[in-house]
Structure 1
Amino acid sequence: MGTLVLRGTHDTGRDTGSGRPDGDARSVDLARDIADYTSRFTPDGGYLPPSRTERRLVTDGVALLLDGHREQAEQRLAEVDFGIRTLVDSATGRRFAEVYDRVDQAPHPRGWGRVYVDLDHRARWSVQVPHPVADHGTEQLGVRVLRGTPGGVLIVAGAHRKSGEGDASDVAHRRDTVFHAVCAELVRRGFPGVQLHGFADDSAPDHDVVASTGKGSEGRTDGRRLADALRDRGFAVCRAWVRSCPLEGHENVQGRIAADEDVPFLHVEFARSVRSSDARAAEAAAAVRVVTSRWAAASGVRR
């Protein structure tokens, strides 16, 4: 299979990719922006399962954005009432495209999530947050990882995992979601990914972190690097490729599709005590960035 180097839609450093000047970008604290977005998520909140066509339209829009065709991306996304806005993160000065659902502010949001794309660097890797709020603090861990490594794509699920009927909004275990469709597109492009989860401290009392490559083994070298980086920062890590660990993520559907395509995937579970401490969360994110920094330095990704 051939390779294609993808460039962010701000590759020139001056244009958003749709002819708009950078002055049209909105300055925000990205961490606060995402916290405000997820603050509305509750177990009894709204969730509307997307149709196959709706999933395809959102994914097509994200794909066009990654290829630098922002105007076409906006047209495609508008068909399903999504949009793109440029954000300048006030903490880092970096620019991100936010792919968002215009229905988010409606009385009955669909819960399809958001995607953030680094506009100042080539897109190369992803960080995934399938259970925001339900896995407390994982959305903020995702922001820390995105901010600290160039070329990232952050995918945040749009509803609490217990919203909707049954497990309809548990995106880590469903293939019929916008979240999964976008992650599958990134896998198709060869983007390695790290998915962030959380567990109650008493679920694995001897460990702060459970690191796994899910169903596959392609990410094992990266998993070792991550586990070593976590250990060096004082975390007790269960390495799922070495021993039996709880919460190994073997049934995770994003990990399964990555395994099918031989793309590195890491499924990482953090204890509540790690996610609830600002200092420990910062150290955990720094350890994850040891791996994402290597992904960012890769020579290219496949198409």
Structure 2
Amino acid sequence: MIHATREGGPASGDGRHGQDAQPVDLAREVADYTARFAPDGGYRRPGRADRTAVARAVGLLVDGHRTEAERILSGRDFTVRTILDRVSGHHYAEVADRTDEAVTPRGWGRVYVDLDRTPRFSIQIPHPVFDKNTEQVGVRVLRDSPGGVLVIAGAHRRAGVGNSADVAHRRDTVFYAICAELVRRGMPGLQLHGFAASTAPGYDAVASTGAGSAARSDARRLADALGNHGFHVCRAWAEKCPVEGSTNMEGRAADAADVPFLHVELAPGVRLESPAADRAATAMSEITHRWATAPAATRSAPTG
């Protein structure tokens, strides 16, 4: 597949691309990153200035202003490097927290931004490890769909004090700030979760639009695509489903901006069995491909 170069983006302006990219297996990189996540792992609640700065910098990176993004991120102890995923052949900018390797990491997350196509949508992983293998399903979708931004939470859901690391249900996190920044650019989001088999017996997936309805047509297409790949789907807009995601904070931010948001819950048999996970990712990629090729939504200026 031939990918168009981003206008004004890292491939054509102030960023590093091509021969400077470090070849990696993205799935292995993500697995190594999340391997340390545990309920008693490190998490430090970020201040407003930290959340705002990191989110603004990710927005600048998405817009192709890498030099300024790197300057801001460095001031918040984040790094940016260009990687080449050996499996997909795609280039990504990796935004990583320098404290990830510390004895007590602060757990503010990681982001992968497509450098080969203008980013048009996000894939959100709020509960890596806790919702086991959702991070790997997210990598599969990113690989299948040029133009994506993968946002991964930086700690186990039960790390930190109380529910402070439960980024799907709080607004005072770096994860939420980044997703909200992408929403301000009109970028739809696909958020992946996992449920226990006993939570929704007989279902392989629960598809919903969270608190809003802007993604209703996309949700129908997604449910149909999952069904065509052999999965039994509970459609939250048409029937009563568990774990519908109506209290999801990233979904509420998208609803307030009338931006499409899909909340997808996957059963263990879908997330943990590689052939099933591949089929589910292929189905979800049908929607992200639509988002990647749709006319760009009007994007707001980055927050100051």
- Shorter-chain TM range is over 0.9
Q: What residue is the counterpart of 2:272 in the other structure?
A: 276
Q: What residue is the counterpart of 2:198 in the other structure?
A: 202
Preserved contact between residue 168 and residue 248 of structure 2 (Cα < 8 Å): yes
- Give the length in aligned residue pairs: 297
| 1:83-109 deviation line (CA, Å, top 9, x unaligned) | 110000000111000011111111110
Report the Cα distance in structure 2 between the residues aligned to 1:66 and 1:174, rounded to whole angstroms: 24
Matched, 1:230 2:226: yes
User: Which letter does structure 2 place at the counterpart of 1:71?
Assistant: T
Q: What residue is the counterpart of 1:181 in the other structure?
A: 177
Query: Which runs of 5 or more structure 1 residues have no equivalent in the other structure?
Result: 1-6
- The root-mean-square deviation of aligned C-alpha atoms, in Å, is 1.7
Runs (4 or more) in structure 1 with deviation over 6 Å come to: none
Deviation at 1:301, TM superposition (A): 2.2
Deviation at 1:172, TM superposition (A): 0.1
Deviation at 1:10, TM superposition (A): 5.3
| 1:149-185 deviation line (CA, Å, top 9, x unaligned) | 1100000000000000000000000000000000000
Report the Cα distance in structure 1 between the residues aligned to 2:180 and 2:93, rounded to whole angstroms: 19
Q: What residue is the counterpart of 1:55 in the other structure?
A: 51
Q: What residue is the counterpart of 1:4 in the other structure?
A: none
Deviation at 1:8, TM superposition (A): 9.3
Tell me which moved more, 10-19 or 292-301. Answer: 10-19
Report the Cα distance in structure 1 between the residues aligned to 2:102 and 2:158, rounded to whole angstroms: 20
3-state DSSP class of the match of 1:202? coil
Deviation at 1:20, TM superposition (A): 3.6
Q: How does 1:77-226 map to 2 (within 5 A)?
A: 77-226=73-222
Tell me which moved more, 61-70 or 163-172. Answer: 61-70
Q: What residue is the counterpart of 1:71 in the other structure?
A: 67
Query: Which runs of 5 or more structure 2 residues have no equivalent in the other structure?
Result: 300-304
Deviation at 1:21, TM superposition (A): 5.4
Q: How does 1:18-37 map to 2 (within 5 A)?
A: 18=14, 20=16, 22-37=18-33
Preserved contact between residue 39 and residue 159 of structure 2 (Cα < 8 Å): yes
Label 1:9 to 1:60 Cα distance change in 2 as closer, same or farther (>3 A): farther
Preserved contact between residue 10 and residue 65 of structure 2 (Cα < 8 Å): no
Alignment TM-score, normalising by the size of structure 2? 0.95
3-state DSSP class of the match of 2:222? helix
| 1:54-87 deviation line (CA, Å, top 9, x unaligned) | 0011011111111211111100111111111000
